[in-house]
Amino acid sequence: MVIGCCTITLHLPVARSLKEKRQVIKSLLTRVRNQFNVSIAEVDAHDRWQRAVLGVVCVSTTQRYAHGQLESVVHFIESQRPDIPLISYDIEML
């Protein structure tokens, strides 16, 4: 069993308050959950309204599939929300 973890840092210039940030992030999290079979949540920068750190986790039998799944999530976020620049992401296999 392989566990793939991805940390994604986003810049949200469209958010002018924590309420707007939560609305954008909630929508994005729902889309990712519906499109991919992964767990995703906001894991850091909860009080910063123009930055979000997301944690994405998937479980697979092969490292190759888990890495590909997490790469697909990153590309999906970039393509679905071009107005939210992706600052960085890091993929780890456990």
Q: Which domain holds residue 29?
A: 2-93
Strand bridging mode 39-44 / 51-60: antiparallel
Supply the DSSP string of the chain, one letter for each residue. Answer: -EEEEEEEEEE-TT-SSHHHHHHHHHHHHHHHHHHSS-EEEEEE-TT-TTEEEEEEEEEES-HHHHHHHHHHHHHHHHHH-TTS-EEEEEEEE-
Provide the whole-model pTM.
0.87
Q: What is the pLDDT of residues 19-46, one digit of tens each?
A: 889 999 999 999 999 999 899 999 998 7
Q: Name the packing angle between helices 63-80 and 18-35 (round to 10°).
A: 130
Question: What pLDDT was estimated at residue 16?
Answer: 86
CATH, residue 85: 3.30.70.1120
Q: What is the domain count for the chain? A: 1
- pLDDT above 70 coverage of the chain, percent: 100
Amino acid at 38: V
Mean of all residue pLDDT scores within the chain: 92
